[in-house]
Structure 1
């Protein structure tokens, strides 16, 4: 087996990116004139073709934030010939690892991994290249625009805030957001921004909880600025996520608004896709659009996500939205993103792993606890939080109820003082057997109670019984078609697995040098 490594780095000498090619062993490998690339030389420098650790969520977890896969590649450099690479920049640039059977044509090589370089460290005799999967590319700020802070006087054509907002990100909204604090971007013309990415509608605008009367909508900022708005009323520019007040606000302006043309466009899957696209990723090339539609079909419930003037990673935002439905975002080994939902393992397994396949004659297997709350024990309660209020206040911060139509409503006052609403399912049978059984809480971006209750009912059978996690070392060739979230059958004479049992793949650690992969199986 020949391992081929391709590293991309920025070369200041040419002021551009170059591809560096290396292979295992001391001899170089050169492609043929008919190959693509033709006559390319892979220098014999790879002492370790790499290892990579990947997980659906965090290590040994079944929910939570997506986890970036990490690993290393080692290049031999006892002669110092690679010292010249010190001046190059590698971070954030592509890396590929290929495997090629001895004597096989170059075109038959197998892509083991496609991701990004994190860093390159130069020791005396070895260069260590840290690598990450493409989730790392989402460790960029979700918001795509920043305030210039130039709106420091009246009569200007912009709405960019004052010096307090200079260089801060503009707010963005996804789905149907509740009670978000609008950002004052032009104090002279009384203009506020809710979402720089644009909205489908502005549903309610409140000043200290009192709903203002909806006025006209305008297509441009200039038209909005020119509009005459009376006290107690607001005008809008929905396309730019802006509103204009008719009189100076008495307190914090909060807004309910919708992004996405219809309720169906506000599902977790479709919101996450728009976030991914806003970050610059393209359907077909970077992710599978069909995966998002399949996840939407599983749960089309409305969600919300709003981010203000603080930086938020795109990955954190996407993980929060997808986590509402038990979903994950994951690049496959070739670097293409997929989404799905963690389900109990069912159906035909992609592989049957028995004591013959498990390394060390089966003794290499370990049963481990999950890193979830309760370590995989049966839960006695499932709580799902929903209806996030982005600007909770004390009751005395709202306009006092005097019985007039303009005052805050009872329903709004009850909503405004709490950050979350929640539903809870209790399992009396588990509680009777195990009084100290864990109580699991899931924060979701669901807007509606019915959707939170439906998700709690879906989670209950997953977490109301004990779940096992096994660490299973196997030869990569035996499971090369199995990726994270796949289903395998584990069969052996220990741990009650005599008849075989289905498991879901939660994680893997692949070592390309010795061809071993350790799977983390859950079920």
Structure 2
């Protein structure tokens, strides 16, 4: 069996931030432990009921999913009555699984007990406070979804010509845009209409190519400061840049909509973008699994691009990037942000499950993806999304086939939001008469990268694959491939880990599967896994 213990923080008002300790059984730490000589009140009624998934439940792609659950403490004795006036929201919670011996005594030090969940408290529920108090909790992905990624706003103080780029009064309090990677056909923000200065990003860029109605303008030079670019000598048809500030300045009043192809400074692959966005959001390097970042970059270092000019959250931006490469992000049991990619399960499994270890029924279900359980015959990957799509009358007359074949192709491309790469296997249709086509929107920028991703996805979705839901005990005989002594199992298998499952029916030989979801049910001392393959 296992003792579950929690550490909870709250702001108590005059007393400031305090930590409270509770467990579902008798637990006291010794003088050499951390915390030392700490009593855990045995009032923990529901230690943890916590559910997490790589994507939406039962799916294998899409936006990353915030994990959530609750902790319930008995309060018939009134011990937690004062909590009603405390501020728990946004405070950390740690849930540990402390192993017990056959005499129900804790094994080892508390500080060495595996952490099941390191999360954040959403709220305190005192609806039934005469008997219980409930803590609604979530993992740290919810922190990324709680507020906008970008917080720098225009002051709206640019009311005359000069070395200023804070926008006119109409821009006051609007978000300054930011470019990540390579983005085609951005419409710059008019931050100084008096000097014809516009902004594509509040961060440095390595290249900004400017167009008027799709027709390229001539670059006159690059300037390091606003003052320098504001006084540069330009003529109609020319433009200047301040790459360090993400600014451009036009040499004359444009005839059509001004757009720019932008390349931001820094790496362009999806994993590096995730690390940058986490850093921009204020996440410290200690809370980012850099090894997983490097591993995902090695799997897919393709060029991506994302232009953020609104109040989307950090999680929204990260999900858009990761969906481009089949990736996911989770907050692991230590509260560290980890990324990965959903691939066909392969290699040596981290754990091996057989029928005798399972508790209750095993369910075999079809994924909740667009194709369900029917294999797809074609995958379309959309890439190279235009930030601004033109209509026919918004494009300059010189951008046409009469000027050159290249200009004619550009005119057509400016009216098309996406480019597409396809991979197909027509033999699938011969077997599956209702075989669908799947389409994935991405932030990829290059045709070769999109084609490679389409081929990878087709290999996954052209074959029937299922999700297997099964329950196992938290503590029990080791589920590792090499059998050993009893261990605390909950923290050992991570989301995205490859395991094997064997049963007397359907899976008579071990089948490799990837963990895409889990429910930690401390009351039942069990874990329910969702494994795909």
TM-score range for the pair, normalised by the shorter chain length: over 0.9
| 2:212 paired residue number | 207
Does 1:484 pair with 2:464?
Answer: no
| 1:508 paired residue number | 518
8 Å contact 1:74–1:128 — kept in the other structure?
yes
User: Cα distance 1:119–1:401, how it changes in 2: closer, same or farther (>3 A)?
Assistant: same
Distance, in Å, in 2 between the alignment partners of 1:213 and 1:241 is: 17
| 1:181 paired residue number | 187
Does 1:279 pair with 2:281?
Answer: yes
Distance, in Å, in 2 between the alignment partners of 1:227 and 1:17 is: 55
Of 124, 145, 149, 2:152 maps to 145
| 1:423 paired residue number | 421
8 Å contact 2:215–2:398 — kept in the other structure?
no
8 Å contact 1:49–1:74 — kept in the other structure?
yes
Displacement, 1:45? 2.3
| 1:341 paired residue number | 341
| 1:266 paired residue number | 268
Q: Matched residue pairs, number?
A: 509
Displacement, 1:378? 0.6
Deviations 1:202-247 (A, max 9, x none): 1x10122121111221112222223232221111111111111112
8 Å contact 1:383–1:425 — kept in the other structure?
yes
8 Å contact 1:303–1:445 — kept in the other structure?
yes
Is the partner of 1:9 in helix, strand or coil? strand
Q: RMSD between aligned alpha carbons? A: 2.0
Aligned pairs (5 A) from 1:161-310: 161-202=167-208, 204-261=209-266, 265-283=267-285, 285-308=286-309, 310=310
8 Å contact 1:46–1:75 — kept in the other structure?
yes
Distance, in Å, in 1 between the alignment partners of 2:513 and 2:455 is: 22
Distance, in Å, in 1 between the alignment partners of 2:399 and 2:369 is: 49
Does 1:115 pair with 2:116?
Answer: no
Displacement, 1:163? 3.0
8 Å contact 1:97–1:111 — kept in the other structure?
yes
Is the partner of 1:81 in helix, strand or coil? coil
8 Å contact 1:211–1:406 — kept in the other structure?
no
Of 97, 106, 115, 2:110 maps to 106
Is the partner of 1:324 in helix, strand or coil? helix
User: Cα distance 1:41–1:156, how it changes in 2: closer, same or farther (>3 A)?
Assistant: farther
| 1:459 paired residue number | 457
8 Å contact 1:210–1:406 — kept in the other structure?
no
Does 1:373 pair with 2:370?
Answer: yes
The 10-residue stretch of structure 1 (45-54 or 5-14) with the greater mean CA deviation from structure 2: 5-14
Deviations 1:1-26 (A, max 9, x none): 32211112223224x4322222224x
Displacement, 1:156? 5.2
Is the partner of 1:274 in helix, strand or coil? helix
| 1:131 paired residue number | 137
Aligned pairs (5 A) from 1:378-417: 378-401=375-398, 409-417=407-415
| 2:93 paired residue number | 95
Does 1:20 pair with 2:23?
Answer: no
Distance, in Å, in 1 between the alignment partners of 2:282 and 2:112 is: 31
Displacement, 1:402? 7.7
Distance, in Å, in 2 between the alignment partners of 1:464 and 1:505 is: 20
Is the partner of 2:41 in helix, strand or coil? strand
Displacement, 1:416? 0.9
User: Cα distance 1:510–1:399, how it changes in 2: closer, same or farther (>3 A)?
Assistant: same
8 Å contact 1:268–1:296 — kept in the other structure?
yes
Is the partner of 2:224 in helix, strand or coil? coil
Displacement, 1:332? 1.3
Distance, in Å, in 1 between the alignment partners of 2:9 and 2:174 is: 32
| 1:33 paired residue number | 31
User: Cα distance 1:163–1:10, how it changes in 2: closer, same or farther (>3 A)?
Assistant: farther
| TM-score using structure 2 length | 0.91
| 2:482 paired residue number | none
8 Å contact 1:394–1:417 — kept in the other structure?
yes
Distance, in Å, in 1 between the alignment partners of 2:185 and 2:11 is: 46
| 1:352 paired residue number | 352
Is the partner of 1:409 in helix, strand or coil? helix
Displacement, 1:443? 0.8
Distance, in Å, in 2 between the alignment partners of 1:31 and 1:471 is: 37
The 10-residue stretch of structure 1 (135-144 or 30-39) with the greater mean CA deviation from structure 2: 30-39
Distance, in Å, in 2 between the alignment partners of 1:157 and 1:11 is: 49
8 Å contact 2:98–2:113 — kept in the other structure?
yes
| 2:10 paired residue number | 9
Distance, in Å, in 1 between the alignment partners of 2:530 and 2:237 is: 59
Is the partner of 2:167 in helix, strand or coil? coil
Of 80, 93, 99, 2:78 maps to 80
Displacement, 1:407? 13
Distance, in Å, in 1 between the alignment partners of 2:263 and 2:447 is: 18
Distance, in Å, in 1 between the alignment partners of 2:125 and 2:474 is: 28
8 Å contact 1:268–1:302 — kept in the other structure?
yes
8 Å contact 1:389–1:415 — kept in the other structure?
no
Displacement, 1:405? 7.2
8 Å contact 1:210–1:408 — kept in the other structure?
no
8 Å contact 2:97–2:116 — kept in the other structure?
yes
| Structure 1 portions without partners, runs of 5+ | none
Displacement, 1:103? 3.3
Is the partner of 2:325 in helix, strand or coil? coil
